[in-house]
Amino acid sequence: MLSIRKIGVVGRTYRNLNRYRQILAILFKYGFGDLIELLKIDQYIEVGLQLISRNRPKRLEKLSRAERVRMAFEELGPTYVKLGQVLSTRPDLIPIDFTQELSKLQDKVPPFSFNEAKMTVESEFSKPLEELFVFFSETPIAAASIGQVHKARLKDGEMVAVKVQRPGIKKIIEIDLEIMLHMATLVERNIKEMALYRPVKIVEEFARTLEREIDYTIEASSMERFARHFLDDPKIYIPTVFRNMSTEHVLTMELMDGIKVSETDRLEEAELDRKKITARGADFYLKQVFDLGFFHADPHPGNIFILPENVICLIDFGMTGAVDRQTREDFVDLIDSVIHRQEARVTQVLLKLTHWEEEPHIRRLEKDVADFIGQHLHKPLKDIEIGKLLNNLLELASRHRLMIVPDIFLMMKTLTMVEGVALALDPDFDMIAQAEPFIKRVKFERFYPGRIAEDMIQLGSQMLQFAKQFPKDVLEITRLVRLQKLTFKMEHKGLETMLATHDRVSNRISFSIIIAALIIGSALIVISEIPPLFYGISLIGIVLFSTAALMGIWLLIAILRKGRL
């Protein structure tokens, strides 16, 4: 379990001060000094801020804010790179332009030493490395922020890939998460506009995601789950996991000696069929998404190998996605209604697949949907790129402040990446045509007799549960009323501005009445010649007239400042 402590009193003792100061310095460097000032961090780490260079950040005016965030994350290190990668799949938490920019983040970290890898493996199995492996390469074949992979040979002669977790990475992550949580708390407290994105929730969800990623037993389970699903498919191969040689920090799997799907020259040399590979790979992912509802969510070319006879092999199952049957059906309805140019239905399904804080303007949304369909459906379906279509659909949803559910976004992003890999292999590839059989199957499955019977049974069960629960709820409400414990809470939204205006108007009217009363009273005093007199005029009347004049000028200035008389 990751241990994250909130920084409060601990912060005043300057715990992790060096790392906090380093983070703040990088944020200053990339032009976020204004943000740090707004957070009022100096109340918590006074000495830290005094030690930060106050030089002007380097000129980054030509870069967007999203680009500067991405660059800052890259420099901040592994935890922040992972944060950016996670956020790139969460359009419900951050704006769509940020998700697109953060999706460019890649792990670029140097490998750790062989001795550290050896110590980790020996610590996990309580045995010397020589007793576990006949051979263990000193140089890793791949390195990332969480761990690195070494080639090795088991005692039975099997060649394997051993993923070893980076030493001390858990402690590094915990320190960074503590600082993130502290800064997120300050954002919610001091910056109202950014508080809408719920930064504390983002950090908490990120912590849960990282907790899963640093546990290699979860990745092993995902690999075994995929292997079971495609056990009888000769076109697909999933590496074997060696459970007896795997732990939370070490993952041992079958070493795959294939060709990366991006190495097209080698594919040609090996006389492999690129068109067949493209069709098989697309079908493989479409089956994951539409049939299984459980999919490999990181299909970049480095994770896809091609074996002899055009067999597709996947590695790195650290990121997976899952969508339930109802969500898959809704997504199919969305694609189907777009293809058939049904603007009203597209709007309806889009609203079903999203959530929002403020009710969207339906007519305006329908108009934008019509424009979107006109933009993409003016050409034959074979010329439409599903990736561009889905990305533009996401941008449309973002403009109307509709938040896509994370699992759906991850599914859409995965399909977009798969299409990109497919087009690199076969420029004539048609993703919509390839997906058509899967879409039809999902559409018609809901009308199968067995499915209808299942839905009716489920509906009947829900109705029965409602019938059993409803009398209990009524009795509970009656009891609360009898005990005078039932209270109704009414929340008025949007009245604050109107009430403030009414308050301002009433104040001005009251002020005007007081001024009028002073003028009338002063006139009566002057007419009555109430002493003391100054050149025959009541001095008290003069003072009251002057007071009324000053108050009148004050009121006039206040009105003119608002721009309205």
Q: How far apart are CA 298 and CA 118, in angstroms?
A: 28
Percentage of the chain modeled with pLDDT above 90: 25
Side-chain-side CA neighbours of 239 within 13 Å: the count stands at 26
446 DSSP assignment:
T
What DSSP string describes 305-371? EEEGGGEEEE---SSEEE--HHHHHHHHHHHHHHHTT-HHHHHHHHHHHEE-SS---HHHHHHHHHH
Q: State yes or no: is 156 an active-site residue.
A: no
> Measuring CA to CA, which residue among 134, 182, 150 is closest to residue 19?
182
Interval 488-494 mean pLDDT: 65
What would the mean pLDDT of 91-113 be, rounded to a whole number?
78
pLDDT band at 8, cuts 50/70/90? very low
Q: How many CB atoms lie within 10 A of CB 469?
A: 10
Q: Is the dihedral of CA 123, 126, 127, 132 positive or negative?
A: negative
DSSP assignment, residue 136? E
Q: Where are the beta strands (DSSP E) in 117-178?
A: 133-136, 142-143, 147-154, 159-165
Q: What is the pLDDT of residue 458?
A: 85
Question: Percentage of the chain with pLDDT > 70?
Answer: 88
Q: What's the pLDDT at 10?
A: 43
Q: What is the pLDDT of residue 496?
A: 67
**Residue 241 DSSP symbol:** B
Return d(Cα 262, Cα 285) in angstroms, integer. Answer: 17
- State in Å, rounded, how far the first CA of the chain is from the last one: 64
Mean pLDDT across 286-315: 91
- Separation CA 24–CA 6 (nearest Å): 18
Q: What is the pLDDT of residues 381-406, one digit of tens each?
A: 777 888 888 888 888 888 888 888 77
Residue 108 burial (10 A CB sphere; 0-12, 13-18, 19+): exposed
**What confidence tens digit (pLDDT) does each residue in 530-542 have?**
788 777 778 787 8
- The closest of 80, 79, 224 to 166, measured between CA atoms, is 79
- The pLDDT assigned to 92 comes to 65
Q: For 103-118, what is each residue's pLDDT tens digit? A: 887 766 788 999 999 9
Side-chain-facing half-sphere of 557: CA atoms under 13 Å: 6
pLDDT bracket for residue 288 (50, 70, 90)? very high
Active-site choice (42, 156, 257, 298): 298
Annotated domain spans of the chain: 9-107+172-212, 113-166+215-226+239-255, 257-446, 457-489, 495-561
Vertex 139 angle, CA 133 and 143, to 5°? 105
How does strand 147-154 pair with strand 133-136? antiparallel
d(CA 165, CA 486): 55
Model confidence at 432: pLDDT above 90: no
Identity of the highest mean pLDDT range in 162-171, 466-475, 513-522: 162-171
Asked if residues 408 and 415 have their Cβ atoms less than 8 Å apart, the reply is no
Mean pLDDT across the chain, nearest whole number?
A: 83
Which positions ≥6 away from 439 have C-beta within 8 Å? Answer: 290, 332, 335, 336
pLDDT in tens, 212-252: 888 999 999 999 999 999 999 999 999 999 999 999 999 99
pLDDT of residue 6: 56
3-state helix, strand, coil in the chain (%, to 5): 60, 10, 30
Please state which CATH class domain 113-166+215-226+239-255 belongs to. Answer: alpha beta
421 or 21: whose pLDDT is higher?
421
Instruction: Fill in the amino acid letter for 316.
Output: D
How far is 396 from 350, CA to CA, in rounded Å?
10
- Answer for the pair 146, 170: CB distance below 8 angstroms, yes or no: no
Q: How far apart are CA 104 and CA 192, in angstroms?
A: 29
State the pLDDT at residue 13.
40
- What is the band of 9 on the pLDDT scale with cuts at 50, 70, 90? very low
Which residue in 362, 368, 390 sits closest to 91, CA to CA? 390
- The residue that leads in pLDDT, 241 or 529, is 241
Amino acid occupying residue 563: G
What is the token pair recorded at 538?
Answer: 């009541």
Say if residues 182 and 11 touch (Cβ distance below 8 Å): yes
- Residue 532: asked if its preceding bond is cis (omega within 30°), the reply is yes
**DSSP per-residue codes, 171-211:** HHHHHHHHHHHHHHHHHHHH-HHHHTT-HHHHHHHHHHHHH
pLDDT above 80: residue 148: yes
Q: Is the Cα dihedral 15, 19, 20, 21 positive or negative?
A: positive
Q: Band of the pLDDT at 481, cuts 50, 70, 90?
A: confident
Higher pLDDT, 435 or 206: 435
**For residues 80 and 323, what is the distance between their CA atoms, to the nearest angstrom?**
27
| Out of 160-174, 342-356, 362-376, 488-502, least confident range | 488-502
**In Å, how far are 97, 116, 158 from 129, measured between CA atoms?**
47, 12, 16
Least confident interval from 370-379, 380-389, 413-422: 380-389
Q: Is the pLDDT confidence value at 445 over 90?
A: no
Q: Which of 87-101, 125-139, 141-155 has the lowest mean pLDDT?
A: 87-101
**Nearest by Cα to 146 from 163, 158, 127, 129:** 163
